[in-house]
Amino acid sequence: MAGNSFGTLFRFTTWGESHGPAIGVVVDGCPSLLDLAEADIQPWMDKRRPGQSRYTTQRQEPDQVKILSGVFEGRTTGTPISLLIENTDQRSKDYSDIASKFRPGHADYTYWEKYGIRDYRGGGRSSARETACRVAAGAVARKVLGSAIQVRGALVQIGPHKVDRSRWDWAETGNNPFFCPDPVAAGEWAAYLDGIRKNGSSVGAVVEVVASGVPVGLGDPLYDKLDSDLARAMMTINAVKGVEIGNGFAAAELTGEQNADEMRMGPDGRPQFLSNQAGGILGGISSGEDVVVRFAVKPTSSILTPRRTVDTQGHDADILTKGRHDPCVGIRAVPVGEAMMACVLADHLLRRRAERRE
Amino acid sequence: MAGNSFGTLFRFTTWGESHGPAIGVVVDGCPSLLDLAEADIQPWMDKRRPGQSRYTTQRQEPDQVKILSGVFEGRTTGTPISLLIENTDQRSKDYSDIASKFRPGHADYTYWEKYGIRDYRGGGRSSARETACRVAAGAVARKVLGSAIQVRGALVQIGPHKVDRSRWDWAETGNNPFFCPDPVAAGEWAAYLDGIRKNGSSVGAVVEVVASGVPVGLGDPLYDKLDSDLARAMMTINAVKGVEIGNGFAAAELTGEQNADEMRMGPDGRPQFLSNQAGGILGGISSGEDVVVRFAVKPTSSILTPRRTVDTQGHDADILTKGRHDPCVGIRAVPVGEAMMACVLADHLLRRRAERRE
Amino acid sequence: MAGNSFGTLFRFTTWGESHGPAIGVVVDGCPSLLDLAEADIQPWMDKRRPGQSRYTTQRQEPDQVKILSGVFEGRTTGTPISLLIENTDQRSKDYSDIASKFRPGHADYTYWEKYGIRDYRGGGRSSARETACRVAAGAVARKVLGSAIQVRGALVQIGPHKVDRSRWDWAETGNNPFFCPDPVAAGEWAAYLDGIRKNGSSVGAVVEVVASGVPVGLGDPLYDKLDSDLARAMMTINAVKGVEIGNGFAAAELTGEQNADEMRMGPDGRPQFLSNQAGGILGGISSGEDVVVRFAVKPTSSILTPRRTVDTQGHDADILTKGRHDPCVGIRAVPVGEAMMACVLADHLLRRRAERRE
Amino acid sequence: MAGNSFGTLFRFTTWGESHGPAIGVVVDGCPSLLDLAEADIQPWMDKRRPGQSRYTTQRQEPDQVKILSGVFEGRTTGTPISLLIENTDQRSKDYSDIASKFRPGHADYTYWEKYGIRDYRGGGRSSARETACRVAAGAVARKVLGSAIQVRGALVQIGPHKVDRSRWDWAETGNNPFFCPDPVAAGEWAAYLDGIRKNGSSVGAVVEVVASGVPVGLGDPLYDKLDSDLARAMMTINAVKGVEIGNGFAAAELTGEQNADEMRMGPDGRPQFLSNQAGGILGGISSGEDVVVRFAVKPTSSILTPRRTVDTQGHDADILTKGRHDPCVGIRAVPVGEAMMACVLADHLLRRRAERRE
Mean pLDDT, 10 residues at a time, chain C of 358 residues: 94 97 98 97 92 76 94 97 91 76 94 95 93 98 98 98 98 97 97 94 97 98 98 98 98 94 95 97 98 97 89 94 81 97 98 82
pTM, 2 dp: 0.97
Q: Count of CB atoms within 10 A of residue A46's CB? A: 14
What's the gap in Å between the CA of C352 and the closest CA on chain B? 7
**Contact between A222 and B3 (Cβ < 8 Å):** yes
Chain C residue numbers touching A75 (CB-CB < 8 A): 117
- Among candidates B168, B267, B263, B176, which has minimal Cα distance to B210? B168
Q: Which residue of B has its CA nearest to C32?
A: B355
pLDDT band at B357 (very low <50, low <70, confident <90, very high): low
**Contact between C77 and C89 (Cβ < 8 Å):** no
Contact yes or no for D15 and B115 at CB 8 A: no
At B172 the pLDDT is 98
Would you give the DSSP letter of residue A171?
G
Give the model confidence (pLDDT) of B224-244 as tens digits. 999 999 999 999 999 999 999
**Contact between D56 and D179 (Cβ < 8 Å):** no
pLDDT band at D324 (very low <50, low <70, confident <90, very high): low
For residue A354, give the nearest of D9, D33, D146 by CB distance.
D9
Which of B322-336, C23-37, D174-188 shows the lowest mean pLDDT across its residues? B322-336
CB pairs under 8 A between C and D: 365
Distance CA D151, CA A318 (A): 70
Q: Which residue of B has its CA nearest to C78?
A: B355
Give the model confidence (pLDDT) of D217-249 as tens digits. 999 999 999 999 999 999 999 999 999 999 999
Distance CA C233, CA C138 (A): 12
Contact yes or no for D284 and C310 at CB 8 A: no
At C220 the pLDDT is 97
pLDDT band at A50 (very low <50, low <70, confident <90, very high): confident
Distance CA C245, CA C208 (A): 10
CB pairs under 8 A between B and C: 34
- Among candidates C252, C112, C326, C114, which has minimal Cα distance to D244? C252
Strands B161-162 and B71-72: what pairing? unpaired
pLDDT band at D357 (very low <50, low <70, confident <90, very high): low
Contact yes or no for C354 and B354 at CB 8 A: yes
pLDDT of residue B91 exceeding 90: no
At B92 the pLDDT is 60
HEC per residue, chain C: CCECEECCCCEEEEEECCCCCEEEEEEECCCCCCECCHHHHHHHHHHHCCCCCCCCCCCCCCCCEEECCCEECCEECCCCEEEEEECCCCCCCCCHHHHHECCCCCCHHHHHHHHCCCCCHHHHHHCHHHHHHHHHHHHHHHHHHCCCCEEEEEEEEECCEECCHHHCCHHHHHCCCCCCCCHHHHHHHHHHHHHHHHCCCCECEEEEEEEECCCCCCCECECECHHHHHHHHHHCCCCEEEEEECCHHHHHHCEHHHHCCCEEECCCCCEEECCCCCCCEECCEECCCCEEEEEEECCCCCCCCCEEEEECCCCEEEECCCCCCCCCCCCCHHHHHHHHHHHHHHHHHHHHHHHCCC
Chain D residue numbers touching B119 (CB-CB < 8 A): 72, 77, 79
Contact yes or no for C28 and A10 at CB 8 A: no
At D114 the pLDDT is 97
Contact yes or no for D119 and B33 at CB 8 A: no
What's the gap in Å between the CA of B267 and the closest CA on chain C? 26
Which of A202-216, B147-161, C55-69, C270-284 shows the lowest mean pLDDT across its residues? C55-69
Decide if D353 touches A, using CB distance below 8 A: yes
For residue B297, give the nearest of A228, A252, A302 by CB distance.
A252
Average pLDDT of span A94-109? 88
pLDDT band at D323 (very low <50, low <70, confident <90, very high): low
Chain B residue numbers touching C33 (CB-CB < 8 A): 357
Q: Neighbouring chains of D at 3+ CB pairs within 8 Å?
A: A, B, C
Contact yes or no for B75 and D117 at CB 8 A: yes
At D50 the pLDDT is 78
Give the model confidence (pLDDT) of A166-185 as tens digits. 999 999 999 999 999 999 99
Average pLDDT of span B104-124? 94
For residue C17, give the nearest of A22, A69, A75 by CB distance.
A69
Confirm whether residue D125 is marked as ligand binding.
yes
- Among candidates A327, A108, A114, which has minimal Cα distance to A202? A327
Contact yes or no for B79 and D4 at CB 8 A: yes
Give the model confidence (pLDDT) of A256-283 as tens digits. 999 989 999 999 999 999 999 999 999 9
Alpha-carbon dihedral sign for residues A130, A131, A136, A142: positive
Task: List, as ranges, residues 174-233 from B with C-beta within 8 Å of C.
Answer: 221
For chain C, the average pLDDT equals: 94
Task: List, as ranges, residues 126-185 from D with C-beta within 8 Å of C.
Answer: 126, 130, 157, 159-160
For residue D10, give the nearest of B2, B28, B119 by CB distance.
B2
Would you give the DSSP letter of residue B126?
G
Burial of D104 (0-12, 13-18, 19+ CB in 10 A): buried
Give the model confidence (pLDDT) of D63-92 as tens digits. 999 999 999 999 999 999 999 999 987 666
Chain D residue numbers touching A350 (CB-CB < 8 A): 354-355
Contact yes or no for B114 and A285 at CB 8 A: yes
Task: List, as ranges, residues 3-22 from A with C-beta within 8 Å of C.
Answer: 3-5, 7-11, 13-17, 20-22
Contact yes or no for D13 and B26 at CB 8 A: yes
Decide if B353 touches C, using CB distance below 8 A: yes
pLDDT of residue B62 exceeding 90: no
At B325 the pLDDT is 73
For chain B, the average pLDDT equals: 94
At C323 the pLDDT is 66
pLDDT of residue A12 exceeding 80: yes
Decide if C117 touches B, using CB distance below 8 A: no
Contact yes or no for B69 and D26 at CB 8 A: no
Decide if C80 touches A, using CB distance below 8 A: yes
At A73 the pLDDT is 96
Decide if B308 touches C, using CB distance below 8 A: no
Chain D residue numbers touching A353 (CB-CB < 8 A): 353-356
At D98 the pLDDT is 83
For residue C296, give the nearest of D233, D244, D303 by CB distance.
D244
What's the gap in Å between the CA of C189 and the closest CA on chain B? 44
For residue A310, give the nearest of B227, B264, B300 by CB distance.
B264
